[in-house]
Every structure is written in structure tokens, then in C-alpha cells.
Amino acid sequence: MNMTRKNSIRKPMRAEKKEALTAMVFIAPWVVGFLVFTLYPILSSLYYSMTNYNVLNPPSFIGFENYINLLKDKVYLKSLTNTLYMIVIGGTITIIVSLIVSIIMDNRKLRGISLFRVFFFMPTLVPTVIACVLWIWMLQPTTGVVNTLLGYLGITGPGWIASPTWSKPAMILMMIWACGNIIIVNMAGLQDIPQSMYESASIDGANFFQKVRTITIPLLRPVILYNSVTLIINILQWFAEPLIMTEGGPDSSTLFYSLYLYQNAFQFFKMGYASAMAWIMLIIALALIIFLLKFLKFGESE
């Protein structure tokens, strides 16, 4: 009897070990891929950030000298300021505009609303290079579409991307134009808000703006948090647009963080310096996201 019981116990244990081994075999490619293509580059960049490395010669350890030099680099501080401007000013404007558009298009009673939804989403399908060339043409100081339309209103249009003052607002216009993904996410969040809450508010005499302030915005906070976080990450990674449209000019007014990082790594061959910039970018992103989560309390239901 004892032998029978032992055999009956061993069989499930063997089956469990076999299942565990099978599972390990299936996840092994992902583990190897993560270790080789993700974890190793991350740790390597941390090491290179503390070295003087120009790709052509072996890295030499210099400690935190790259990080100290970054604080003395006026061009780096300029790129950081430009990026923070886009996050604080451009990101805020983009989130507000996309939210207003989403609330308007959520009204199913409006005629042709489906056409407007397609209209706002289509810019996200345009390849980046084509979009940049299109906006370069639209923002020409004398022959551009934007300044031509402003001229019909009696307004003299600025130089846009040719002006250090107006180059970043021009980038903000382009960012708003391409915020279709944010609008789609907002509209998905609006679909989850029960219509009964709006009906109850109407019975209590609430107008449209009161409904938005007391119902829509509080219940849409998790969606606003998601859009804010993804937008911050996208702005920190802005590279193709300033490279194609302005190459960081004029007067470094559109020299954003990722573009300057690219220049240090692949034009100046200062790979250790660029690695230090990448780690500071990570710290900045974490700090901004924690600020949104903790201090602004986005995503918390009331």
C-alpha cells in the first residue's frame, strides 16, 4: 500500500516538473532575447556613461565626469530647456485641444461626425518624412498656406520655423495636428462614462460646461494620465521632426534632447557623453511621471 501511495505521489510531481520544463523551453527565447538585446545594452550604456568612449578606441573609465560636463554644456542646457518647453507648453496645449475635440466629436447627434473623426485621425497615418515636408511647405513665411490664410484676415504671419521665436510654436502646431491617437483614446474613455450620469445632471439643471467639469473630467482622469505620460515620452524622443525640418535651428531653438543626443553619439562620436545624456533622460522621464502621479494626482478617482 505504501509503495502504491508513493508511486501515486511521484506521478503528479513528475508531471509538474515536465510542465515546468516545457514552460521554460517555451519562454527561453524571450529570456535570452531580453538578456541579450535589452538588459545587456542597458547595463552597457550605464558603464559607457562613465567612460570616455569614441567608438574607435577602447573606453577609458572617467567616473562621473560626463555628468559633470553636461551641467557645464550650454548647448545641452539649451536642448533640455527646449524639450521642457515642449513638454510643459506644447504638451499641455495638445492635451487640452485633443480633449475639447474629443468631447465635441462624442456628440452622436451632430451631422457628419463620423467624417470629422476620420479627418482628425488621418494625420497619424501620414509617414513622418512626408508630414515634415508638408509642414515645411505650409509654414513658408511668404508662400506658405498658414501665412496666406492669416493674410486674408489682415494678419502678417511670422517666420515660423525660420524664426527662433516662432519655431517651437510651429512644432506645437504640428504636434496638435498629429494628435489623432490621443483623440481616439479620449473617445474610448468617454464611451465608458454612463449616459445616466449626464441625464441625472440634466434633471438637476446642469448645463454642458458643468457636466464636463463635474462628470467628464473627473471620470476621464485615468485616460488623461495615460495620454500625458505617452506624450511626455514621445516629446523626449522627438528626433525625426526637428532633424528633417530645421536640423535644430534656427539658433538651436529646435535642438531637442534626442537630437542633441544623436549628434553627440553619431556625429561627434562622443558615445560616453551620449550615454550619460540617455540616463539623465530616463531620470527626467521618471521624475515627470512621478510628479503627475503623486502631486497632480492624475488617475485617482474622486
Q: Round to whole Å and give the CA distance between 123 and 106.
A: 19
Considering the domain architecture, whether residues 41 and 109 belong to the same structural domain is answered as: no
**What pLDDT is stored for residue 106 in this prediction?**
76
In sequence order, the β-bridge partners of residue 60 are 52
Q: Which residue in the block uniquely carries the three cell numbers 504636434?
A: 175
Neighbours of 258 (CB within 10 A): 20
- With a pLDDT cut of 70, the percent of the chain lying above it is 91
Is residue 243 situated within a structural domain?
A: yes
Query: In the structure, what pLDDT confidence band is assigned to residue 188 with cuts at 50, 70 and 90?
Result: confident
Considering the domain architecture, whether residues 93 and 35 belong to the same structural domain is answered as: no
Round the average pLDDT of the chain to a whole number and report it: 88
**pTM for this structure?**
0.86
Neighbours of 232 (CB within 10 A): 21
pLDDT digits (tens, 9 = 90+) for 90-120: 999 999 999 999 888 876 566 667 777 788 8
* Structural domain harbouring 30: 2-48
Question: Among the ranges 10-19, 151-160, 270-279, which has the highest mean pLDDT value?
Answer: 270-279
Q: Round to whole Å and give the CA distance between 102 and 106.
A: 6
Q: How far is CA 80 from CA 6, 37, 183, 277, 300, in A?
A: 68, 28, 28, 10, 30
Is residue 62 situated within a structural domain?
A: no
pLDDT digits (tens, 9 = 90+) for 160-177: 999 999 999 999 999 999
Of 256, 257, 183, which Cα lies nearest the Cα of 224? 183
Query: In the structure, what pLDDT confidence band is assigned to residue 264 with cuts at 50, 70 and 90?
Result: very high
Considering the domain architecture, whether residues 112 and 207 belong to the same structural domain is answered as: yes
The three-class DSSP label of residue 60 is strand
Taking the mean position of all CA atoms in its chain, how far away is CA 122?
Answer: 19
Is residue 254 situated within a structural domain?
A: yes
DSSP secondary structure code for residue 162 in this structure: G
Mark residue 256 as left, alpha or beta (left: phi above 0; alpha: psi -120 to 50; beta: remaining).
beta
Is residue 77 situated within a structural domain?
A: yes
Query: In the structure, what pLDDT confidence band is assigned to residue 300 with cuts at 50, 70 and 90?
Result: low
pLDDT digits (tens, 9 = 90+) for 8-32: 555 566 777 878 788 888 899 998 9
Neighbours of 260 (CB within 10 A): 25
Considering the domain architecture, whether residues 12 and 103 belong to the same structural domain is answered as: no
Cell numbers representing residue 77 in the block: 542646457
CB-CB contact of 298 with 221 (8 Å): yes
Considering the domain architecture, whether residues 37 and 103 belong to the same structural domain is answered as: no
Considering the domain architecture, whether residues 183 and 249 belong to the same structural domain is answered as: yes
Cell numbers representing residue 272 in the block: 560616453
Considering the domain architecture, whether residues 163 and 265 belong to the same structural domain is answered as: yes
Q: Round to whole Å and give the CA distance between 186 and 108.
A: 15
Considering the domain architecture, whether residues 39 and 140 belong to the same structural domain is answered as: no
**What pLDDT is stored for residue 109 in this prediction?**
61
Is residue 65 situated within a structural domain?
A: no
Considering the domain architecture, whether residues 8 and 103 belong to the same structural domain is answered as: no
Is residue 211 situated within a structural domain?
A: yes
Q: Round to whole Å and give the CA distance between 135 and 144.
A: 9
Residue 5 clears pLDDT 70, i.e. is over it = no
How many distinct structural domains can be found in the chain? 2
Q: What stretch of H or E contains 51? A: strand 51-52
- Residue 129: CATH number of its domain: 1.10.3720.10
Residue 274 clears pLDDT 70, i.e. is over it = yes
The three-class DSSP label of residue 270 is coil
State in Å, rounded, how far the first CA of the chain is from the last one: 63
Region 219-244 average pLDDT = 92
Is residue 302 situated within a structural domain?
A: no
Q: Which are the contacts of 134, defined by CB distance < 8 A and separation ≥ 6? A: 126
Considering the domain architecture, whether residues 183 and 276 belong to the same structural domain is answered as: yes
Considering the domain architecture, whether residues 179 and 259 belong to the same structural domain is answered as: yes
Region 178-183 average pLDDT = 91
Neighbours of 263 (CB within 10 A): 18
**What pLDDT is stored for residue 281 in this prediction?**
94
**What pLDDT is stored for residue 242 in this prediction?**
93
Is residue 288 situated within a structural domain?
A: yes
Considering the domain architecture, whether residues 40 and 147 belong to the same structural domain is answered as: no
Domain boundary residue, one of 48, 64, 85: 48
